[in-house]
Amino acid sequence: MKENTHTLSGAYALNALPEEQAREFERHLARCPDCAEETRGLCETTARMAAAVRHEPPSVLKARVMEEIGAVRQASPIVPATMGRSSRPHARLLAGRAAAALLVAAALVLGVLLIRTNGQLNEERVQGDRIAAVLAAPDARQVSTRVGAATVTAIYSPAKASVVVVTAGMPTAPAAHDYQVWLIGPDAIRSAGLMPDRPGPVLAGPVHAGDKLGITVEPQGGSRQPTTQPLTVVALTS
C-alpha cells in the first residue's frame, strides 16, 4: 500500500474517488483501523452536510416506493470481510502459541473492537478488554467450523477459561427467535448468552475442561436449556 493511501479518507467520504481507487481504499480500510475510524467520522460529517439540504419529495413518491418494494427481493446478509479472510472450509484445530492464522484472526477481531468500542459505554469497553485478553492469551487456540454458508470461529483460552465466538455470514435468526450459545459439559449444558445481530464477537465463560460449544435457534430472549438441535457443536479441547 502506498504511504499516502491514508490521506484518501476525505476524498472517499466525499465519494470523490474514481471507482477503482474507492475499492482499493475499501480494501485498505479492512486492515487499517486508524483509517477506518477516521473515515467513519468523516462519513458522519458528510451525512450532516446532506441533512443541511433536506427537501421533502412530492408526497406521491411514497406510495410508489411502498408499492415497488413488494417486488424487490432483499439481499442476504453479507459475509463480513473481517472474517472472510480467516475462515476455513472445515473444522480445524490450531493448537499452540504462534499459529499465524490465529494471530491474523485476533488482529482482525481487535480491529473491529477498536472501532466499535470507541465512544461507546464503559460496560462495552470492559467487555472489549476482556475479549482482547482472551485473544492475546498465550494459550489461545482457534477452531473454525462451517454452518451452511456461514463460518463459526471460536478462540479459546484455557487459562482465561473463556472463549470468544465470531460468526461470519450467519443469516438473521428467524422472526421472534435468537441464536443462543451454549457450553456443553459432560454433566450440564450452560447458556453462554445470545448472539448479537451484528457480526461482533461474543465472549462466553467460564469454560470448564471438556466443554463443547454449541449454537441453537431459540425463541426470542433465549431458553434455559436448548429446545432445538444444535446448528453446530465444536469441541474446544482436543
Partner 1 sequence: MTHSRERDDPDQHRTGPGPAPPVQELLRQSGRGDRDAFSRLYDQVSGVLYGLVLRVVRDRGQSEEVVQEVLLEIWRQAPRYDSTRGGAMAWMTTIAHRRAVDRVRSAQAGADREAAAGRREVAGGDYDSVAEAVEDRLERERVRRCLDGLTDLQHQAVTLAFYGGHSYPEVAQLLATPLGTIKTRMRDGLIRLRDCLGVAT
The one of partner 1, Zn ion, none whose footprint includes residue 90, by CB under 5 to 8 A per kind, is none
Nearer to partner 1, 73 or 90 (CB): 73
For 138, the grid coordinates are: 498465550
- In angstroms, give the least distance from the CB of 220 to partner 1: 6
Judged by CB, which is closer to partner 1: 75, or 98?
A: 75
Q: How far is the CB of 33 from Zn ion (least distance, A)?
A: 8
| Alpha carbon distance 153, 201 (integer Å) | 10
Residue 62 binding target from Zn ion, partner 1, none, CB below 5 to 8 Å by type? partner 1
Distance CA(236)–CA(40), nearest Å, equals 36
Residues 6+ apart with CB under 8 A from 48: none
Q: Which does 26 bind (CB under 5 to 8 A by kind): Zn ion, partner 1, none?
A: none
- Cβ nearer to Zn ion, comparing 32 with 137: 32
Instruction: Name the residue with cell 493511501.
Output: 5
Q: Is-contact 148 168, C-beta < 8 A?
A: no
> Closest separation between CB of residue 92 and partner 1, Å?
25
Binder of residue 35, out of partner 1, Zn ion, none (CB less than 5 to 8 A by kind): Zn ion
Closest separation in Å from C-beta 194 to Zn ion: 34
What does the angle CA 159 – CA 165 – CA 168 come to, to the nearest 5 degrees? Answer: 150
C-beta of 6 vs 130, nearer to Zn ion: 6
Rounded to whole angstroms, the Cα distance separating 29 from 13 reads 12
Between residues 93 and 185, which has the closer beta carbon with respect to partner 1? Answer: 185
CA angle (12, 17, 23) in 5-degree steps: 80
Binding to Zn ion (CB under 5 A): which residues in 4-33? Answer: 6, 32
Q: Which does 159 bind (CB under 5 to 8 A by kind): Zn ion, partner 1, none?
A: none
> ω before 138 within 30° of 0 (cis)?
no
Instruction: Look up residue 5 and give its amino acid.
Output: T
Torsional class of 230: left (φ above 0), alpha (ψ -120 to 50), beta (otherwise): beta
> Binding partner of residue 103 among partner 1, Zn ion, none, CB under 5 to 8 Å per kind?
none
Q: Which is nearer to partner 1, 84 or 99 (CB)?
A: 84
Any residues with CB less than 8 A from the CB of 10 and at least 6 apart, and which?
Answer: 42
Contact residues for Zn ion, defined by CB under 5 A:
6, 32, 35
